[in-house]
Structure 1
Amino acid sequence: MTDDARVKRRQPESLDDIQRAEHHPEYRIDLERVRFSPYFSRLSAVTQVISQAGASPLIHNRLTHSLKVTAVARAIAVTVDDTLVGTTPALSPELSPGGCDAVVVQAAASAHDLGHPPFGHLGENVLNRIARDTLGLRDGFEGNAQTYRILTVLDVCDGASAGLNLTAAVRTAVSKYPWTPQLEGMSFDPDRDHDPADLPRGLKRVGDAVVARKYSAYFLEQDDLLDARASAPALAPWEQSLECAVMDIADDIAYSIHDVDDFYRAGILSQVAVSREFRGWLENSAQLRRLDAPELEVEGVRNHAGEGIEALRRKIHRDDPWVADDDAFADAVAVVSEDLVEGLLSTVFDGSIAAERRLSTFTSRWIAHFERSIVAAPPDTPRTAAITLDRRAWHEVKVLKFVHKHFILNRPDIAMYQRGLSQVLVSLVSAFSDWLEDDYDRKRVPRRLIEMVDLATTGYERLAAERPYLLDDTDASALHRLGRGRGVVDYVASLSDGQAIAVAEALNGRTDRLWDIGQSL
């Protein structure tokens, strides 16, 4: 497959003058279209994990996270293209026809979180439940699929009738989970695939069926995704492109380091509690490994120090035996304990220059270490792409992410705050759905919402003609209901945190923030 397939755009477009300029290659155009997008700007007002309003303006939002993922991804891409491409069969020209283009990687990294709705992952979970259970959308809501829908349908650029008209290479690189919930064209052996390790990340087995927990396209964008991936036909249906793998690893690295950065700044990581957990496992790992405790096999409250880390060790063995290694895990726990728990967290962040220097040194050291830890992945391992972090670094990322999940997301105060935010989204979807059905006031529905409903309805009409088996009902009224549901979800998901709160308050009768919501509508 030639590089011409990778630079192919979904729609014809006149770019002759731009192409003749040597400093404006096709992929650079894609990168600029993503970064000039209002959806990209919006990320500055969308929560990463904890809200800036409730902590500090220095806390990461989705935009600063995306910028840092892009920087890490570029550094990895340059290294991979210089040292790994062409030196291993897993990175052959057939699987990676364009090598590892750093600009493709930057475009994908910049775009990867465009689909995140208000309030971070909480918003994603709430909108998915509403989409499936209330609105009847079989493919629900998923942040990665919403990103793909923005890039190909909802966003706009000059010269294209819909979407940003990105190249096949960039659209493929954005697709971390390159399937729809239907898993069309993918087959799994029911006698072999009972173990999660036999399935790609994002898929799980429920009874005798394989279902998509994560996916990169809704039914409406399936054809576009297939068209993009045709640029690398040697890839297996579930396999990430090389550039996508770089973006995915960079995202993991940024999460593992920058979330710790945020919680340290905000003063909500208790050194005593974290130290107790790490010391408990390091001092009693042998006993914990022998513990026959079913509660350790699932998420939940732990009774004794070290049980959370032991549960993580067991989960790694269940899900990823291709890389699981008890010695590497123990080394990762020890080094994170020494450098983070007994090192960085032993001194309270007080906002001083000295504290900033300590944090900067910690962050820079770990990111540089991870960037140097990229290796070719073992062959025929569906749980990872063509490249991965080496065994040591892979376990270190897991342990660092454990700190965030175990000591922050499970806090009762954060859980209470999130439950309140979830009601904002429920209220918004209900109010807009009712407004669209109000015969007396429907003419005053925000124009952008009407346009999104029309786009979605047209998409479902096309789907009914081409793939009716993906729909439960294909009559006109059913397609209109689906279009209305998808359009409302698209609209609500496009709001920032502040806009979502302000609009919900306005729809519920509060008028003191009337002029805050004008640009939302």
Structure 2
Amino acid sequence: MTDDARVHRREPEVLDEIQAADDNPEYRIDLERVRFSPYFSRLSAVTQVISQAGASPLIHNRLTHSLKVTAVARAIAVAVEKSLVGTTPALSQPGGCDAVVVQAAASAHDLGHPPFGHLGENVLNKIARGPLGLADGFEGNAQTYRIIAALDVCDGAALGLNLTAAVRTAVAKYPWTPELDGISRATIVAESAASALPRGIKPSGGELVARKYSAYYLEHDDLAEARMSAPTLRPYEQSLECSVMDIADDIAYSIHDVDDFYRAGILSQVAVAREFRGWTENSSALRQLVAPGVDIAENVPGAALESLRRRILRDDPWIAEDDAFADAVAVVSEDLVEGLLSTQFDGSISAERRLSTFTSRWIAHFERSVVAAPPDTPRTGIITLDRRAWHEVKVLKFVHKHFILNRPDIAMYQRGLSQVLVTLVTAFSDWLDDDDDRKRVPRRMLEMVDLATMGYLRLARERPHLLTDTDAASLQRLGRGRGVIDYVASLSDGQAIAVAEALNGRTDRLWDIGQSL
């Protein structure tokens, strides 16, 4: 692609002002627009996995996570540009791997996360698809794209941040809408050496279903326009810069969540060691069990790791390997289970140094493990982690998913938080239906409803097949539903709780709430 095609949507007079100061001024503007966005600042008050209020101010939030993903992504981008660009046809795209594009995409990648992390995402998706009747539901990646394309503001643009095509393309990890326009199983099989489906797409009832996607129907055309700047990309393929951002996100997620749980003192060395030793000592016996037997015997030491091994062999045969999995279990067991976790974190300087050494060593190892992906493999991007590191990331992510997210106390807390979101959406929807009091609805919500309604009116004209009904009342209902979801998703954790209390007639922070609406 040409540099002009990758840039697209940029004001020449703005570029002239900073051309001399930056080799990539158009991308630097994108990075600054993302980082100066209130949606970016808001991430400091949005949960990553566990709340700072319930653990420690040193626990990662979405902002600190995004900053670290950006740092890792830049390091990978520089290495890719230096060592890998041009080594394969897929890595020979015009424009190479621009580190500033990668930084902008990494900074933006979590803008769409609603209050309470992935829990909030799941709850809002159920509400959106159910009571609100939004066929494309709620998805954090799609909400991110909606923010940069429509909801956020910048000087000189009617909608969104007016980002370049390269950055918008790099943000889209799952570059399709729920419609999967232009993507079919036949297309994937015909264009690849393997029939495995891209991550985020799964078969259901003889059809393909988008479990993850990076744009709602309303932003379909914007994403399609952005990706036209890279005409060689397949419909399901990430751009090179997006692939770098995606790997960096996986690396940060696998390491920093373990960091958090170790700091919080909720990652039990005894429980983790029992599972790892159980699999190591009984792996041969566990492999003889049929899959249902493993599921039933959840308390058998090693059974959960055995389920992970089977799952990655089933889903990722392009890279999954038993020996590599066993090696990953062994090295994580030695370095994390028998190493870091063997000494309780007590907040001392020596404990901080021990944790910093562990984190730095693993991140550096992963950054050095990036390689060109096998050709025509839909399950991964243009680059990937080598076989050893890929398995290690899977095992590290298993630790916090299995030993933290399934804890009864966290589950109980999350069920309470889910009710906060239900309360917010229900109360605001009822308020918008109240003709006698609708004029007092927060102005920003009314603006979001109007913006969404205009989008559905355009969709009814240009892509009516995506809508069940296109009469005026139905479009108004969809616009109201999407607007309410946009508004609730834009709140921080604390705002969501405080506003829900206010809507129930209970609050000690009435005037603070009013300033944020």
TM-score (norm. length: structure 2): 0.97
Amino acid at match of 2:275: E
Q: Which residue of 2 aligns with 1:416?
A: 412
Q: Does 1:493 align with 2:489?
A: yes
Identity of aligned residues (%): 81
Amino acid at match of 1:475: D
In 1, Cα distance between equivalents of 2:37 and 2:20: 22
Q: Which residue of 2 aligns with 1:379?
A: 375
Deviations 1:93-144 (A, max 9, x none): 2xxx210000000000000000000000000000000000110000000000
Instruction: Indicate conservation of the 8 Å contact 1:116/1:143, yes or no.
Output: yes
Instruction: Indicate conservation of the 8 Å contact 1:181/1:211, yes or no.
Output: yes
In 2, Cα distance between equivalents of 1:449 and 1:118: 16
Q: Which residue of 1 aligns with 2:508?
A: 512
CA shift, 1:186, in A, is 1.3
In 2, Cα distance between equivalents of 1:241 and 1:293: 36
Q: Does 1:89 align with 2:89?
A: yes
Q: Which residue of 2 aligns with 1:29?
A: 29
**Structure 2 matches for 1:334-353, cutoff 5 A?**
334-353=330-349
Q: Which residue of 2 aligns with 1:399?
A: 395
Amino acid at match of 1:169: A
Question: 240-249 or 511-520: which moved more?
Answer: 511-520
Amino acid at match of 2:382: A
Q: Which residue of 2 aligns with 1:170?
A: 167
Amino acid at match of 1:211: V
Deviations 1:2-46 (A, max 9, x none): 11100101x767424335333261000000000000000000000
Instruction: Indicate conservation of the 8 Å contact 1:499/1:516, yes or no.
Output: no
In 2, Cα distance between equivalents of 1:434 and 1:143: 25
**Structure 2 matches for 1:350-369, cutoff 5 A?**
350-369=346-365
> Structure 1 pair 356/30, CA: closer, same or farther in 2 (3 Å)?
same
Instruction: Indicate conservation of the 8 Å contact 1:46/1:61, yes or no.
Output: yes
Secondary structure class of the residue paired with 1:204: strand
> Structure 1 pair 192/82, CA: closer, same or farther in 2 (3 Å)?
closer
Deviations 1:63-122 (A, max 9, x none): 0000000000000000000000012222122xxx21000000000000000000000000
Q: Which residue of 1 aligns with 2:142?
A: 145
Would you say how many aligned residue pairs link Structure 1 and Structure 2?
A: 514
**Structure 2 matches for 1:170-319, cutoff 5 A?**
170-189=167-186, 198-296=196-294, 302-319=298-315
Q: Which residue of 2 aligns with 1:136?
A: 133
CA shift, 1:513, in A, is 1.9
> Structure 1 pair 192/248, CA: closer, same or farther in 2 (3 Å)?
closer
Secondary structure class of the residue paired with 2:176: coil
CA RMSD of aligned residues (A): 1.6
In 1, Cα distance between equivalents of 2:19 and 2:335: 51
Q: Which residue of 2 aligns with 1:109?
A: 106
Secondary structure class of the residue paired with 1:505: helix
Instruction: Indicate conservation of the 8 Å contact 1:197/1:319, yes or no.
Output: no
In 2, Cα distance between equivalents of 1:90 and 1:408: 38
In 2, Cα distance between equivalents of 1:496 and 1:77: 31
Q: Does 1:475 align with 2:474?
A: no
In 2, Cα distance between equivalents of 1:500 and 1:5: 40
Runs of 5+ unmatched residues, structure 1: none
Instruction: Indicate conservation of the 8 Å contact 2:15/2:25, yes or no.
Output: no
Deviations 1:211-252 (A, max 9, x none): 000000000000000000001100000000000000000000
Amino acid at match of 1:248: D
In 1, Cα distance between equivalents of 2:503 and 2:86: 58
Amino acid at match of 2:362: W
Secondary structure class of the residue paired with 1:21: helix
Secondary structure class of the residue paired with 1:210: strand
Deviations 1:175-209 (A, max 9, x none): 0000000001112139979xx96110000001201
In 2, Cα distance between equivalents of 1:100 and 1:515: 48
